[in-house]
A and B are shown apart, each in its own frame.
Chain A
Amino acid sequence: MDIRSEVISQFTQVAEEQDKRLAPLTDDLPLLESGLDSLCFAIVVARLESSLGADPFSDDEDARFPVTFGDFIRFYENAAH
């Protein structure tokens, strides 16, 4: 599965469900300016765990949190490899 398009699709869907206005998802977009709040991110991460079978947030105790949208995609891409 293409990780990038799956991540974009979950961001878009959760934003719509939670009635949030999603910023254009460029790689340098800071996650906290994406329009999603903590609850939205929690839902995105739970759904990506279902669809991609990976949860890089829980897998590594010392991993640094992703800051930009590009970091977020790489976070999942690295977990898949």
Chain B
Amino acid sequence: MPHTNQASLNAAIIAAGDPSSRILVGFDTNATWAKLIAGSILADHPGDLTGKSVLIATRDQFRAAAALIELDGIARRIVLFPPDVPREQLRYVAQTADADLLVTDDPETASADHGVGRVVLCGKSIRPVDSDRSPRVETEWILLTSGTTGHPKLAVHTLASLAGSAMHRSPASASIVWSTFYDMRRYGGMHIFLHAALTGTSLVISSAQESVADFFARAGAHGVTHISGTPSHWRRALMSPWANRIKPEYIRMSGEIVDQTILNQVKTQFPRAQIEHTFASTEAGVGFYVSDGLMGFPPEVLSRNPLVKMKIEDGTLKIRSMRAASRYLDADSPMLKDADGFVDTGDTVELRDGRYYFTGRRDGTINVGGFKVHPEEVEAVLNRHPQVVMSLVKAKKNPITGSLVVADVVLKPLPTASASTTIDGEILRFCRGHLAPHQVPAAINIVPTLAIGESGKLVRRHA
């Protein structure tokens, strides 16, 4: 772990060497790491941010990266708000993180009241500044994960905990160019961002505003050699006629259960590439890598890394690691680790013929293309609709996103027969107003009743 003793991201990038020849390639902006560590995206809004809690909620991830590099070691706390999380959660997140400042590139977000004292509307230009960047504090990095209560959970990391994963086997090489389909505000994207920053490679980051064709063109033009994403990202990539614009040597999948179909299909499209899949979570960090081209994992990967202790207990994977988050910031969230320091990932596994296979989530969480959906959260919204008595949200297996959300709904007696033909559309519109797109049920089944168990709770059958 050569760099974890560096007290800030800024210093670690310098330590990785030659930052002026490595580039961070954004959708509409590029900058060398050297420019990023010496410049400021917040320079138009002077004010000492030492010891402050800063909520970064930009649409564009290049700007989030620039602000992160600028503020690590200066701010007390940096919260990275992913662009796919509904904006109505900003107030809760700001309050939970005790945010002093909101950084955004979106005028609409900047003009709304989120309960934060100061708001900075940043542009894309990075201005050279002459300020002291020596680290003053060990900044907390807050990553959001989905919660059951209708609010995201805020997992507390540091540069050291996140870099611990990123620096795992780091063949720094001038010829490597990384890219990822992930957004860096998500663990999978942060992992690649830090890996590139700390091992001295260029990095091409994606953008929600960009077509897949344009992304591949950009990635190809910059000579991307290493690229990561979820199985769903890769399924989308394989539907593109421009996937051949990249010539990757190394492909990584994570964030969802990897099936044999997607491993085979990626291998067919990119026969030259080494393909690995990894287990990682926002809370537990990176667990292990699997490189034999098969789904599931052999038991020996659990003991391969002495720094990451892993065990299967009660059918779920548990991990104790320096790479894990330390705690949740929000008081209502459960303990992140047990008394022995293990994070229960909640991912269930099954041993078949000497190999482990992931089977789903113990708590019934549905993984839709890498986004976790808690059924209870969706049910809470459905149940707020005036015509809904009760609802049960379930997973439906899907070859594109792994799973989809579907709902069984019990309705109140309808005033007129004609209303029943439009009610599911109306309920879906209601859901779209209150949930992120991947949380909205893909289908609503109107059912006469739902089974209630002896505990008085809905009967759930977890896959």
Which residues does A use to contact B, with CB under 8 Å? 17-18, 30-33, 37-39, 41-43, 45-47, 55, 57-58, 61-68
Contacting pair B438 A39 (CB below 8 A): yes
Contact (A17, B264) CB under 8 Å given A38-B369, A41-B400, A68-B241:
no
23 A-B residue pairings within 8 Å (CB atoms): A30-B213, A30-B240, A31-B239, A32-B240, A39-B368, A39-B369, A39-B401, A41-B236, A42-B369, A42-B401, A46-B398, A47-B443, A55-B399, A57-B399, A61-B260, A61-B261, A61-B264, A62-B261, A65-B235, A65-B239, A67-B239, A67-B241, A68-B241
Measured between beta carbons, the chain A residues less than 8 angstroms from B268 are: 62, 64
Measured between beta carbons, the chain B residues less than 8 angstroms from A63 are: 265
Contacting pair A65 B238 (CB below 8 A): yes
Contact (A18, B235) CB under 8 Å given A32-B240, A38-B401:
no
Docked CA distance A18–B233 (Å):
19
Contacting pair A32 B212 (CB below 8 A): yes
Measured between beta carbons, the chain A residues less than 8 angstroms from B369 are: 38-39, 42
Instruction: Check if B211 is an interface residue, CB within 8 A of chain A.
Output: yes
Contact (A46, B260) CB under 8 Å given A31-B239, A39-B438:
no
Interface size on B, residues (CB 8 A): 30
Instruction: Check if B428 is an interface residue, CB within 8 A of chain A.
Output: yes
Docked CA distance A78–B438 (Å):
30
Contacting pair B404 A46 (CB below 8 A): yes
Residue among A43, A58, A63, A65 facing the most chain B CB atoms (10 A cut-off): A65
Interface hits, B168-227 → A, CB 8 Å = 211-213
A15 to chain B, nearest CB (A): 13
Interface hits, B217-274 → A, CB 8 Å = 232-233, 235-236, 238-241, 260-261, 264-265, 268
Contacting pair A38 B442 (CB below 8 A): no
Measured between beta carbons, the chain A residues less than 8 angstroms from B438 are: 39
Which residues does B use to contact A, with CB under 8 Å? 211-213, 232-233, 235-236, 238-241, 260-261, 264-265, 268, 368-369, 396-401, 404, 428, 437-438, 442-443
Measured between beta carbons, the chain B residues less than 8 angstroms from A30 are: 213, 240-241
Contacting pair A38 B235 (CB below 8 A): yes
Measured between beta carbons, the chain A residues less than 8 angstroms from B232 are: 38
B25 to chain A, nearest CB (A): 21
Contacting pair A65 B265 (CB below 8 A): yes
Docked CA distance A31–B235 (Å):
12
Count CB-based A-B contacts (< 8 Å). 74
Contacting pair B264 A62 (CB below 8 A): yes
A21 to chain B, nearest CB (A): 13
Given A38-B400, A39-B401; 19 other pairs, CB 8 A cutoff:
A18-B437, A31-B239, A32-B211, A32-B239, A37-B236, A38-B233, A41-B400, A42-B398, A43-B404, A46-B398, A58-B261, A58-B399, A61-B261, A62-B264, A62-B265, A64-B265, A66-B239, A67-B241, A68-B241
Residue among A18, A31, A39 facing the most chain B CB atoms (10 A cut-off): A39
Docked CA distance A18–B432 (Å):
9
Contact (A45, B400) CB under 8 Å given A32-B212, A39-B369, A61-B264:
yes
Measured between beta carbons, the chain B residues less than 8 angstroms from A18 are: 437
Contacting pair A33 B211 (CB below 8 A): yes
A75 to chain B, nearest CB (A): 11
B114 to chain A, nearest CB (A): 24
Measured between beta carbons, the chain B residues less than 8 angstroms from A47 are: 443
Q: Using CB atoms, name the residue of chain B closest to A67.
A: B241
Docked CA distance A17–B64 (Å):
31
Docked CA distance A46–B261 (Å):
18
Contacting pair A46 B396 (CB below 8 A): yes
Q: Using CB atoms, name the residue of chain A closest to B425.
A: A17
Contacting pair B265 A17 (CB below 8 A): no
Q: Using CB atoms, name the residue of chain B closest to A28.
A: B241
